[in-house]
Structure 1
Amino acid sequence: MGSATMTPTSPLTVINGGSMSGERSESDVSSAGFDSAWCATDLGDYRPCRYTYEYYPYESLPPLDSTEFTGAFRWLGRTGKPVPEQVTALNRLAVNLAAKGLTLPQDFVTFQADSKMHYSLDEVSVTGCWTDISEPLPSPVEPGASLVRFLRDQQDCVIWYLYLRPSGEAFVVHSYLDYEYEYEARRDGEESETDLDDPEEQRAAILWCAPSFEEFAHRFWIENRLWRALNGTDLSGLEPQAHDYLGHYPPPGVPA
């Protein structure tokens, strides 16, 4: 992939994509009060992308089988042993969240503590995304809720967060804002890229993209592997599920 042409202050453009077959209506998307979009790169000519990333309407994406997401990550086909340093860091994060009445979702803990899984997204990413877990960050739009950053683009064009509510609800959102930096800038009296006290501006900057961490990880994993296969012009090594995922989109040259 080339370097990103978008900047954090230039929101990405929404692209319409996907076939109508199996497409979900917006009313079927439980986006937890946020606008929804999937931020990703192209899938070859099946789903174009004008820049490094685009915002694709969530309802245009291939549907996933929710019964696969049990928290065991069987679709990765590999598990390892807990990494002591990771377990310690996650325990510390859990304690900090508990003080705020919040909990980490178990699928996130399982993935991040495992020696073979916790860098799987970094390894498969075609845009240089890397795991970077933050301390709890206050939601700028909802008292009592918190953001926990877990993955970021190498140029910070997009950053993904767990969004945690006191009710126990946990889902994945993304933003072009690094909220850790924004809160530190405000604390230090430095110039910020956004007004953290403007709920309308902040709600527009946060987009829902997955109902659970495992579903996010699965879609990210399968799309990045598809990108590599399509750009290598060899799909033979992909499992049937990946072919089914790509089959959601019209073949190149066929109108949607």
Structure 2
Amino acid sequence: MSEMVATEFADGVLRLTLARPEKRNALSDGLIAAIGATFAEWSTREDVSLAVLTGSGDKAFASGGDLKELDALRGEAEARAFAARTRSAFDHIRRFPVPVLAILNGDALGGGAELAMACDQRLALAHARIGFLQAKLNIATAWGGGTDLFTLVGPSRAVRILATARIFSAIEAERLGLVDAVAPTGEQGAEFVASYIGEMTQRPQVMRAIKSLAIMHRFGGSAEERASREGARFAAAWVHDDHWAAVAKTAFGRR
């Protein structure tokens, strides 16, 4: 599986790269399983502050499901099982203990758009595009991306995006709220991405507290559960040595 999802870890940042460039990172059953397994494996590490997911090459983040492989799914029960299996794999991203940033290095189409939606934030390179193409194949979203889309951009806009099956440029996607930022072209793009990641990388316990709120928002929970989770994460961060070290650097701490 490590051959299909390459990983690199440094300075609190876990970088995961989909490694099927010859197939434009199409989401085969094997790659989907590798995505879920890799996120599940790294979820136990407490020194991770941020996860960054991207695709290999500069053509595609993920070009969608592997249509050649999916052609073998002819029965409704098989299709339902595959959808459930893939959604479960993507849920490892949604429930990953720290935020996951998708860097769209190229096209995120169909299932690739759903994969991008599973992440907490999306940063697009200038040439990247995103599109929910399912309607053109006379199917619907199945891996949780449709639900994510409605939450992200609202019902009216989501219906339009899904029904038209349009492919949006990075700039259009930012305007619609599908991506959070667009990197400039050329060398400035790499600098922008590095800066964006750097600004997002706080101490692990802080990022876990933030992601905890994101998970509660995404999957629901009572007001009491949300308050309890937020309070518990706050208390854990408050007593951590990192907090007192930060306080000591302030004017208050130097008194």
TM-score grouping bracket, smaller chain normalisation: under 0.3
- Structure of greater Rg: 2
TM-score (norm 2): 0.24
Q: Pick 1 or 2: higher relative contact order, CA cutoff 8 A, min separation 6.
A: 1
